[in-house]
Structure 1
């Protein structure tokens, strides 16, 4: 991801200096700026607290004023008000600097594969006590690590989560908690997703409940949660679905528990007035390493005619959409996918070619169902992809990686 332009000009003076913060704090903000992905910091608020968000009118002017990418553009600046570190989008005016949006974000799950695109890499150091999951490459999120404390995996402990949120005093909570990596969930077991995703399913049910309760108790006014939209559209009608179409819960299969947990996330978050971002299948740094390994070993076959559709999204585009949803206080459900939902018969051979592997073998459905289970068969033969039209229209979303075709090439070159 690109770095932000941190050069101070007459039109854009050092925001930390303007806020009257001490030198060490200014240095901390500058390090966060250089990373280009920091959202919040632990500096205390001043006694004179400003309102929780910019007014809707100011928000509207801001959105009309810029078409910048929220993670790369030099038009993004950090601004400090009342001692708070915040993410700001600058709307250009005749004087070259205009209104800024101010908010403090609590990111739960900030060391997962997507969370690492959102959390500053400057937050390094010893592992926080009690952090049993989603902590990789020695990174520790200083704000947004829900429930790190004396109770083991505090993300599933209501008291730990409540304490973490109360201490952070956020204006927005972004829920990205999962436990899917091999280090935490073991070897992928697509035949038994109920076992493989057991902890993740708890994080999406109990964990969501704890975060929502903490949000209500502390007055957090906006909640953003992770959903899923890759191959799991309802298996009826066309191959590409929208937010208006129901999801397929695969009742009667081992996948039902996890898909039901995702459906419940949508129900409770929408009831609370939040937003659910249904991400497509991730690719990008660290996201598909296990799949590429299977492809190179020719252990990732095409099933039957491989007509099932899937939708993909690059991690950077997923992170960018998340920032937009936070900035715009979005409500409802959005499918966060790229421009090209496609059948397995297209994307899997292309992935193999980009990985320098032999083309995948083809196996009949009856031979796959017993060792791989129903989910694999449905995904490969009947899966439905998703459209990103709503996210583009309502969030003003622009993709750096419009298609997995080019994205796979860039990732694996």
Structure 2
């Protein structure tokens, strides 16, 4: 297990996002000084990751020990493939620009938010995927290749950046404080028809658990390594939504045929995927473990927190 200094100065891209807010809080609680990077007024460094020249001007004169890329363009669950295009741009051009900014500020470490879908969409069967499995295989359609290529590029840029210790965290699907709100809203309005899971499962991770993993990667991650970060109980998408409905006393989603979801191409692809990932490497090397081993436990805690 690698340990580097505490009390770091950290630049956090995406600090105002759903994950970023939790990461900022967890890093601060761990004794680090966090500066947010983004377009909003609440950020200490205001810049757009897609504007290289403006970003480099914005960080001029700053020094950071670590730079974290947790920026996303998603403000609601993506339904169509085009909904992912802005985030794909942040994964490619945005990462390249942020790497330059990290080098310009003298950073030593660069930590990227990655995703388990980089292992490929589709049916992976009963196999528990580890970091030794191939990452970012060619997509089975032009749309899927665009998404996977963006994840492939983000990790390549993370690991290949000269002078930076690159680390990638491959997160499961997020839920929890700030992340489950969209589902609650749709359930209350009865606007979330879903097909059955039929044995399909996906990896999930509660947001505060994800944030703790980010802190662990900043402090103890091995350079050049990727880590899966998910709880220990894969769950189908519909099963997860049913847990949300039951925990919050909301109507269950209507069951619809899977073909009815095809016009919403990205959502249809995700709900048709079977994916199990092992987080044993993160637990072993980062001394991280999920406080919530399954979605039921995390949703119960969320319900208790909101009253």
Q: In which range does the TM-score fall when normalised by the shorter chain?
A: 0.7 to 0.9
For 1:28-107, list aligned pairs within 5 A.
101-107=6-12
Q: Larger radius of gyration, structure 1 or 2?
A: 1
- The equivalences for 1:367-378 within 5 A come to 367-369=260-262, 371-373=263-265, 375-378=266-269
CA distance in 1 between partners of 2:61 and 2:287 (Å): 33
Give per-residue Cα distances to partners, 1:227-256, cap 9 Å, x unaligned: 112696453442532222234664325344
Query: Aligned residue for 2:233?
Result: 340
1:117 corresponds in structure 2 to 22
Q: So what's the TM-score if we normalise by structure 1? A: 0.63
Find the partner of 1:264 among 153, 172, 180. Answer: 153
Q: Are the counterparts in 2 of residues 240 and 341 from structure 1 also a CA contact under 8 Å? A: no
Q: Among 201, 209, 222, which residue is 2:96 paired with? A: 209
Quick one: distance in 1 between partners of 2:197 and 2:208? Answer: 32
2:65 is the counterpart of 1:171: yes
Change in CA separation of 1:104 and 1:349 when aligned onto 2, cut-off 3 Å: same
Q: Does 1:238 align with 2:115?
A: no
Question: 1:102: Cα distance to partner?
Answer: 4.2
Q: Of 271, 275, 282, which residue of structure 2 is paired with 1:384?
A: 275
Contact 1:341-1:387 within 8 A present in 2 as well: no
Contact 1:284 1:314 in 2 (8 A): yes
Gaps of 5+ in 2: 29-36
Counterpart of 1:317 (choices 175, 196, 209) is 209
Q: Distance in 2 between matches of 1:171 and 1:306?
A: 47
Tell me which residue corresponds to 1:254.
Answer: 143
Matches within 5 A, 1:172-187: 172-181=66-75
Aligned length: 289
Q: Is the 8 A contact 2:221 2:286 kept in 1?
A: no
Q: Is the 8 A contact 1:175 1:208 kept in 2?
A: yes
Say which SS state the counterpart of residue 155 (structure 1) adopts: coil
Q: Which one has more relative contact order, counting CA pairs under 8 Å at least 6 apart?
A: 2
SS state at 1:224 partner: strand
Query: 1:319 deviation in Å?
Result: 1.0
Q: Give me the whole-angstrom Cα distance separating, in 2, the residues matched to 1:372 and 1:260.
A: 21
Q: Which residue of 2 aligns with 1:140?
A: 42
- Structure-1 residue corresponding to 2:248: 355
C-alpha RMSD over aligned residues? 2.9
Contact 2:220/2:285 (<8 A) preserved = no
Task: Check the 8 A contact 1:231/1:379 in 2, yes or no.
Answer: no
Alignment CA distance shift 1:243-1:299 (3 Å) = farther
Render the CA deviation track for 1:251-273: whole Å, top value 9, x for unaligned: 32534423321121112212234
1:298-329, CA deviations, whole angstroms, 9 ceiling, x for partnerless residues?
A: 43333244432111111111111111111124
Q: Does residue 159 of structure 1 match 2:50?
A: no
| Contiguous gaps of at least 5 residues in structure 1 | 1-55, 63-99, 124-129, 183-187
Offset at 1:205? 1.0
Match of 1:30 in 2: none
TM-score normalised to the size of structure 2?
0.82
Larger helix percent: 2
Does the aligned pair in 1 maintain the 2:11–2:67 contact within 8 Å? Answer: yes
